[in-house]
Each structure stands twice: as C-alpha cells, then as structure tokens.
C-alpha cells in the first residue's frame, strides 16, 4: 500500500510538472520564456533527466529518491513531451504513466507500467498517433469489455484516437473519431447513467463543448454541442456531482471565468451557474477539499489559487490563497498522509513546484518564504527538461517548494 501511494504521488507531481513545461514552451508563451532569462536563439539540447530539489522546514512532506526511468536508446533529440497522465491501465492496482510526445516521426504515446515495488523499470510501450498535437488524454471503458481504454485528442486535427486496453496491459489501436475544431481538453464519465462511458471535449476554435453520448461504440455515437455564452476562450473541463443529486455536472473554465453546468442524468446540461471569477485560468481541479464528500472547485490563476466549496444551494464565497510567483497548472493529492487533499502548482517564474497543505478542510497553508531561487535557465535547458527521459524525487526534508534542473 505504501509503495502504491508513493507511485501515485510521484506521478501526480510529474504530470503537473511536465504539463506546465509544455505550456511554458508553446509559441504563445515565448515571451514568458524570454522574461525568465532565456536565449531566443538557443539551440535545442539533447535528452536530459530531471531532479526535483527540496529544501525547508516542514517535516510533513517526505519523499524518497526515485529511480531514473529507462528510455529506448534511439530517442529523437527533437522529441517534446506534450501531456502526461496517470491511470491503472492493466488493472493491477498500481499507477501507470502515459505521455504524449511530438517527434520527428509524428505524434507518439508512450506507456510505462507501474509495479508493486513502486518502480517503472521496463522500457515504455510506444504507439504512433495521427497528425496533430496530442494535448489531452482521458480514460474509460469505451468498448464495454471491462478493461481500461485510452482516448487521445489530436488537437489541431480535431480528431480523437482510440486505443483499447487488453488484459495483458497492452493497447490495441482503434478507430479515429473526427470532431473538428481544436480539441484542448477531455473528460470521461457516464452522463446518462446507462453504464456506458461518455466523453466531453473542449473545442477552442468554436468555444464549445462536444458531448459524445456512447451507445457502446464512440465512433458511431451521436455528438452534441453545448455553446456557453460570454465565456471567452474555453480552456478546461472537469466532471463531478457538485450539488449531490447523484447526477454528473460539468465545471468549465475559460480565460474569463468559471461556469458550472448541472446535469439532469439524461445527458442534458441546461441549468447553469457562474462563479464569481473574472480572471484567466491556468489549471482547475474538481475534488473534495474540505472532507464533506462533495466535490469542490479550485483554479489556478495569475493571483494564486481560488477555491469554492460546494453547498446545498450552490457554492461558498471564493477563498483565495497565495501560491508563489507565476502560478500555472494545478493538481490535487494527499501529499502528507492526513486524509485531506492538498494542492500543488508550478511556479514558472521561479522554476519551482509549490504545495499548499490542507488545513483541516478550512483552507490551505501558503508556501513558506525562503525557498532558494534557482539560477535562471536558458531556453535550451528548459527544452531539455521537457523531453526528459527520467524523473527523480530528491529526499524532502521539508518545505513544500521544489526546484527543478536538468541532469545530463
């Protein structure tokens, strides 16, 4: 059990970290890289390994060194990680790690299987994907065989790649589903309570949601569109039962606000509530953050973390928490074993990961001052980080503040 928890926590932080590195290096964010002291003309570097360095005072956060992950010898130096996610693909109870890459050969999905030892010693399984940047991954049983399947969004191509799981832990390439637009995010759940996994996709180009209500075969299922009004550019979507009526709802984030679309249990989301938030969103989670067994909403934005707790009639007033400089991305996890979910973000301005510990469900501790500010890294070094072939967690003696740097 202890090794399982360590693996899940490690992969949670790894997915948070690499996802933000991809955001950090996209064309729209080149100015942010330059502001961090990057060299615009720096050449791309070869593969590197990542170490997360920890320093501070909080003994509640304890991590042990994790073994570097092996990689195939023939890895393109121009490969770049686009998205990471964790799931138990082979049903053995241990977390597996999935990552999409853009390579000289095209887009690729690599799967690393976890083990009872909390390690991933085997080389990753590799699957080529159709054209387009594979920026989103989701999981579900899409062919009703009881085995976890994978769906990957080929963003600019506006398509979904289906990969069906097998009992041996391998994936079988399935059909490609055309949705059109530019797919930025995915979420999977049973919207209409018929026992089949349905899917919702965020289309950035039309600022709409594409709902696929499954009939047992997603490639032959009907696609419905939801077009929220005055939401700006849509960015992320999460699914949860926010009003505790046993019907799934949708939390939708954009560059100008948050909306909750309440479901009727039949695949329709006609009732809407807007949360008091007008800034951009760099990350969102839907999880029980105060221990009342009802999902809450937290988002990362320019000013830090904003949290809304679910109530019988809507949501509580927004609570805000500082989370360091340049907050981006957001994940939830039990990082100190107290049965309450904590939050973690990436601070792109200082190359750090900050953890906000849950304070008995009443709020979150703010990252302590005094984290060592790392030297500024060149764009070549940051590029090396994003195509890393391994992750190592240095032993934490405390403060929830990690600094990352490449190890060649």
181 and 158 in contact (C-beta within 8 Å)? yes
The pLDDT tens digits of the residues spanning 265-284 come to 999 998 999 999 988 898 99
pLDDT at 44 over 50: no
Task: Give the confidence band of 294 by pLDDT, cuts at 50, 70, 90.
Answer: very high
The pLDDT tens digits of the residues spanning 126-140 come to 898 886 688 899 999
Task: Give the confidence band of 6 by pLDDT, cuts at 50, 70, 90.
Answer: low
Task: Give the confidence band of 64 by pLDDT, cuts at 50, 70, 90.
Answer: low
Q: Which range, of 14-23, 174-183, 326-335, 352-361, averages the lowest pLDDT? A: 14-23
The pLDDT tens digits of the residues spanning 395-407 come to 232 334 444 443 3
pLDDT at 50 over 50: no
Cα torsion 245, 209, 96, 26 to 10°: value is -140
Average model confidence (pLDDT) across the chain: 76
The share of the chain scoring above pLDDT 70, in percent, equals 71
Q: With CA atoms as reference, report the closest residue to 119 among 49, 65, 62, 51.
A: 65
Q: What is the predicted pLDDT for the residue at 11?
A: 55
The pLDDT tens digits of the residues spanning 149-173 come to 999 998 888 999 999 998 787 899 9
Give the whole-angstrom CA distance, residue 316 versus residue 302: 21
Q: What is the predicted pLDDT for the residue at 133?
A: 84
Paired tokens of 303: 């000013």
pLDDT (mean) for 325-330: 83
26's CB contacts (< 8 A; 6+ apart) are none
Q: What is the predicted pLDDT for the residue at 214?
A: 92
The pLDDT tens digits of the residues spanning 334-370 come to 888 788 999 888 887 777 778 888 989 999 987 654 4
Task: Give the confidence band of 298 by pLDDT, cuts at 50, 70, 90.
Answer: very high
Q: What is the predicted pLDDT for the residue at 151?
A: 95
Q: What is the predicted pLDDT for the residue at 390?
A: 25
Give the whole-angstrom CA distance, residue 388 versus residue 18: 9
311 and 318 in contact (C-beta within 8 Å)? no
Task: Give the confidence band of 300 by pLDDT, cuts at 50, 70, 90.
Answer: very high
Q: With CA atoms as reference, report the closest residue to 91 among 2, 171, 169, 11.
A: 169
218's CB contacts (< 8 A; 6+ apart) are 142, 151, 160, 162, 177, 199, 212
pLDDT (mean) for 67-78: 66
Q: What is the predicted pLDDT for the residue at 12?
A: 57
Q: What is the predicted pLDDT for the residue at 7?
A: 53
């Amino acid at each position: 059990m202890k090794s399982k928890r360590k693996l899940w926590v490690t992969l949670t932080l790894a997915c948070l970290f690499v996802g933000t590195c991809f955001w950090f290096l996209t064309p729209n964010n080149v100015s942010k890289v330059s502001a961090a002291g990057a060299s615009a003309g720096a050449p791309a570097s070869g593969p590197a390994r990542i170490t997360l360095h920890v320093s501070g005072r909080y003994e509640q956060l304890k991590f042990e060194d994790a073994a570097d992950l092996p990689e195939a010898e023939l890895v393109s130096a121009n490969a770049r990680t686009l998205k990471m996610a964790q799931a138990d693909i082979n049903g053995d109870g241990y977390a597996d790690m999935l990552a999409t890459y853009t390579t000289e050969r095209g887009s690729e999905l690599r799967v690393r299987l976890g083990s009872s030892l909390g390690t991933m010693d085997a080389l990753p399984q590799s699957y080529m994907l159709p054209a387009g940047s594979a920026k989103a991954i989701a999981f579900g049983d899409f062919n009703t065989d009881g085995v976890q399947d994978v769906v990957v969004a080929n963003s600019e191509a506006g398509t979904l790649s289906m990969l069906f799981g097998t009992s041996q832990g391998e994936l079988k390439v399935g059909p490609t589903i055309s949705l059109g637009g530019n797919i930025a995010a995915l979420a999977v759940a049973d919207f209409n309570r018929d026992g089949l996994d349905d899917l919702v996709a965020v289309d950035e180009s039309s600022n709409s949601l594409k709902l696929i209500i499954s009939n047992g075969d997603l490639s032959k299922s009907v696609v419905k569109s939801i077009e929220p009004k005055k939401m700006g550019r849509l960015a992320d979507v999460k699914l949860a039962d926010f009003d505790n009526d046993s019907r799934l709802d949708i939390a939708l984030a954009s560059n100008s606000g948050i909306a909750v679309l309440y479901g009727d249990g039949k695949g329709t989301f006609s009732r809407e509530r807007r949360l008091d938030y007008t800034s951009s969103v760099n990350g969102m989670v839907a999880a029980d953050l105060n221990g009342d067994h009802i999902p809450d909403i937290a988002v990362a934005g320019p000013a830090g973390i904003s949290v809304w707790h679910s109530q019988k009639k809507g949501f509580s007033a927004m609570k805000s928490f500082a989370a360091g400089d340049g907050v981006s991305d957001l994940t939830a996890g039990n990082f100190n074993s107290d049965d309450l979910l904590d939050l973690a973000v990436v601070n792109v301005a200082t190359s750090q990961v900050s953890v906000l510990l849950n304070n008995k469900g009443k709020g979150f501790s703010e990252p302590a001052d005094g984290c060592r500010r790392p030297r500024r890294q060149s764009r070549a070094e940051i590029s090396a980080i994003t195509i890393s072939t391994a992750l190592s967690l240095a032993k934490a003696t405390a403060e929830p503040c990690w600094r990352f740097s490449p190890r060649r």
